[in-house]
Amino acid sequence: MKEMEYPRLGEKLFRKRLSNGLEVVTVSKPYHAKSYAFFATRYGGMDLRFRLDGRWQDTPAGIAHYLEHKMFDMETGSVMQEFARNGASDNAFTSNAMTAYYFTSTVNFYENLRTLLRFVSTPYFTQESVEKERGIIAQEIQETEDEPDWRVYTNLMGCLYKDSPARIPVAGSADSIQLISPQTLYDCHKAFYTPSNMILVCVGNLDPERVAAEAEAILPREGGKAIERDYGREECLSPAKREASQSMEVSMPMFLAGYKCRPQEGGEAFLRQSIIGDMACDVLFGASSPLFTRLYEEGVINGSLGGSFDMLPGAFYLYVGGDAEDPRRIFDEITAQAQKLGREGIDEDFYRQIRRAAYGGMIRSLNSFENIAISLSEGYFWNFDYCRFPEVFDEIAKADVEEFLRDNIAPERAALSLIYPPS
């Protein structure tokens, strides 16, 4: 067991790599009554093509999300009832690159931990249950597709990417999920739900050795082979197409502008780029930025403007959007402002303000057990130690943010998605 202290964060972690390859991390919170467990696999909506038993498998869009839904089924019934009996609140999610199962409890932590480990590592699917779930998920997909926020984002990803599965919704489509069978679910579980492809993060007043021992006793002794994945041909930095638009029931036009950014390899370079990208968003269109202030005062935006910087396997992008009567003007203003800041520089006082706010936000995020677990898991899957972010942060200069804006937020990298009210 490796004990790791981070004085700048006031955090203490215990790490152990089990013989089956599972990474077990316990975050010490001795004065908290609540405990939290997070069991994640490096498998998400983008992992549609992979090699299993020497053969390439092409799986339907939405299968990682479908599998997440079905994992709660046991031969004896729903695992949710077992968590409830032991005083735990459980849930799960599937993103583009991760699926995670977790619970929170104030009592019976180790009983609930054993339940979590057992049900995630022991799949149980029947033709009947898979068919029943198909209708439930199809309805969820339909409801989501009727939402303008979802549509404007999905259309943008279709503009930005031609070959990357980043353009495919995590839940798939009503058509794609029709192709999912119990066997495809078992195949995906076999490929990705192996200890060597997973991490267990527990947060609370816990015994790290016991956490590791519970995992060692329940999970398979063999870790499983590394899975070769295919995310399509490497994308160029120009978008697949420049614009997409459609009409939906909205009161005023919605827009989302996206910019393809240069991907980074894993390691601390990934963490560094994540911090720079987030600061670039704040500098460019944050609520205290000169551009936001000016456009708001001119009545061009209504306060809904916002966005983010996202990093997916082989697909890094920044997006910004909101509601506006003249979305193309805002799109042009954002692109022009990014190039100006990249060329002329960011105001020093404003940069210091943004820097303090960004660092403070990262520190405050550690108040959430869920944020801690997600950050540590992402760090493990991308090969960096998230708790080293203060040291990485120290090395970032204003010139790095300016370079990011100059290089990435450029007209040749940009695409625009529009939703218009019915004519």
pLDDT digits (tens, 9 = 90+) for 351-405: 999 999 999 999 999 999 999 999 999 999 999 999 999 999 999 999 999 999 9
| 3-class DSSP assignment, residue 415 | strand
Please tell me the distance from the alpha carbon of residue 103 to that of residue 36, in angstroms, as a whole number: 6
pLDDT digits (tens, 9 = 90+) for 48-70: 999 988 899 999 999 999 999 99
> Does position 225 have pLDDT exceeding 90, yes or no?
no
Contact 384, 270 (CB under 8 A): yes
Note the pLDDT of residue 73. 87
pLDDT digits (tens, 9 = 90+) for 149-158: 999 999 999 9
pTM tops 0.75: yes
What's the one-letter identity of residue 173?
Answer: S
Q: Count of residues for the chain?
A: 423
Note the pLDDT of residue 303. 85
Specify the domain boundaries for CATH 3.30.830.10 within the chain.
Answer: 2-218, 243-420
Lookup result for tokens 């104030």: 106
Q: For residue 68, indicate whether it is catalytic.
A: yes
| 3-class DSSP assignment, residue 105 | strand
* Cβ within 8 Å of residue 105, ≥6 positions away: 34, 35, 86, 87, 88, 89, 112
Please tell me the distance from the alpha carbon of residue 43 to that of residue 304, in angstroms, as a whole number: 33
Note the pLDDT of residue 226. 87
Among candidate residues 190, 194, 145, the one with its CA nearest the CA of residue 171? 145
Note the pLDDT of residue 75. 78
Contact 258, 417 (CB under 8 A): yes
The rounded mean pLDDT for the chain is 95
The fourth-level CATH superfamily of domain 2-218 is Metalloenzyme, LuxS/M16 peptidase-like (3.30.830.10)
Comparing 304 with 290, the larger pLDDT belongs to 290
Assign domain 243-420 one CATH number from 3.40.50.720, 3.30.830.10, 1.10.760.10, 3.90.850.10: 3.30.830.10
pLDDT digits (tens, 9 = 90+) for 168-217: 999 999 999 999 999 999 999 999 999 999 999 999 999 999 999 999 99
Which of 5, 11, 68, 228 is the catalytic position? 68
Please tell me the distance from the alpha carbon of residue 420 to that of residue 252, in angstroms, as a whole number: 7
Note the pLDDT of residue 78. 82
